[in-house]
Amino acid sequence: MAVSTIVPSDYQEHESTVILQTAMDIVSNKFHEPAKSTPLVNTVEILEDDSTMVDTPEVVTTPEITILPEIVTAPEVTLLPEVVDIPEVVAIPEVTTIPAAIATPEVIAIPEAIAVPEATKFLEVTAPLEVAPIVPPSEDNTLEETDRSLRLSDVVSSVLEPTSGAKKLRKMLLETNELIVCPGVYDGLSARTAIELGFNAMYMTGAGTTASRIGQPDLAIAQLHEMRENAEMIANLDPFGPPLIADMDTGYGGPIMVARTVEQYIRAGVAGAHLEDQVLTKRCGHLSGKKVVPQEEYISRIKAAHAARVRLQSDFVLIARTDALQTLGYDACISRLRAARDEGADVGLLEGFTSKAQAAQAVQDLAPWPLLLNSVENGKSPVITVDEASKMGFRIMIFSFATLAPAYVAIRETLARLKYQGIVGTPKHITPVKLFEVCGLEHSMAVDKNAGGLSFMGGV
């Protein structure tokens, strides 16, 4: 049977729900072949007027014929050629009935048979303008009451299935009006701390991953293996916790590698990721000297990423990022993001705004398509606060260096104290037990106790 083919035109919009339909072609292969005649062994065709009919030992002594009850009770059947054809019907009757069931159009068209409505109910990839209408806040900075005004915390707690971060993130975009604030995390401890403080979503920074895992600058040194492995660890620290958005850089190659990257991120439990238009030898978005590929090449990356997530029937949120502002200007960025939106991207990201007015203008020019704002203090862009971003109409805000920069400052100060004063100076309340509690100590103890273990009878 051929694999179901899913194309964007098969999506049908119904309010905020899109039902995924598929078309299936039946292709013969080694597991599905037409019935073939199976002649009996040692059988000889005998004509009725053949005088040697009685003397033919093959027909009389053939074990297959003497075993069949039909031949014993009806000897005259042995004289008929039709006996040879009987096994066609008796041996594999299923062949005559299966094709009819498969070929019935009603069976193919039922979405429930594919079991994807729940996974794709928020996937509005063919009409990106309707993905997440932006509802501006009222004058007193409170959200207007609408039938879509869930709170982010309600979404996190309402999706009970584990490893469903993509579904949570998509519901946040479609069914709430709040700005989704994502602290940048780069390892297990920074992510655990964000979870401890109750953030509704997190962002795995590529710069932080490169610096923490391999001690290198953000210059396309970390590749798919390092990025996917780190994202998988963070996304699965708490299967019921906040969704994780991850840096996906350029997709690490051409369309084939882009598709492979998206597939691996989805299987790793990542909720969404941004895909950029820099050359493969890219650099941090807040460095000078960036170069971008032609728009056609960039859109081919978006197409490959979109097709991969549709093929896996995932709610994975595809974020189109452009770094063209530095070299091509604002209008080129808007053109690239519009083209990416038309090819199925769910969210846009224009990197490196030069002013607050420019950031606000981008939201207006691309509305109601949701935009993500990357905040990097001391980078190329002015500092925009959470309240300012919310009033501008941004839907997601990531803080790439939120934990990496403070970690460097704290580590350096502590090590300097050790070097020159001979003491670390750890605060009294930061004990080993406290750090382990942040990392899930109580859960581990509960697992052991519920399994009948005695490892923690005496406490820790």
Which residues are annotated as catalytic? 203, 218, 247, 249, 274, 276, 284, 321, 351, 374
Task: List CB contacts of 157: < 8 A, sequence separation 6 or more.
Answer: none
CA–CA distance, 416 with 426 (Å, rounded to integer): 13
Is 444 in contact with 436 (CB distance < 8 Å)?
no
Token pair for 324: 């063209």
Spatial distance between the Cα atoms of 373 and 350, rounded to a whole number of angstroms: 7
CA–CA dist 135, 145 (Å, integer): 10
The residue to which tokens 């964000």 are assigned: 194
- Partnered with residue 17 across adjacent β-strands are 14
Element (H, E) at 228: helix 224-235
Angle, nearest 10°, between helix axes 224-235 and 255-268?
20
Angle separating helix axes 295-311 and 255-268, nearest 10 degrees: 40
Measured at the alpha carbon of residue 350, what is the angle toward residues 256 and 242, in degrees to the nearest 5? 75
Spatial neighbors of 106 by CB under 8 A, at least 6 apart, are none
- Cα separation, 118 vs 416, in Å, equals 54
| 3-state SS, residue 348 | strand
Cis check for the bond before 370: say yes or no (omega within 30 of 0).
no
For residue 278, give the DSSP letter. B
Q: How many C-alpha atoms does 177 have within 13 Å on its Cβ side?
A: 16
Give me the count of residues in the chain: 460
Q: How many CB atoms lie within 10 A of CB 34?
A: 7
Helix (H, G, I), strand (E, B) or coil at 292: strand
* Distance between CA atoms of residues 440 and 87, nearest Å: 65
Q: Three-class SS of residue 34? A: coil
In the structure encoding, which two tokens stand for residue 17, read together? Answer: 């729900």
Give the count of alpha carbons within 13 A of 127, CB side only.
15
CB within 8 A of 400, min separation 6: which ones? 184, 203, 205, 207, 208, 374, 375, 376
Rounded Cα distance between 201 and 241, Å, is: 8
Distance CA 126, CA 375 (A): 30
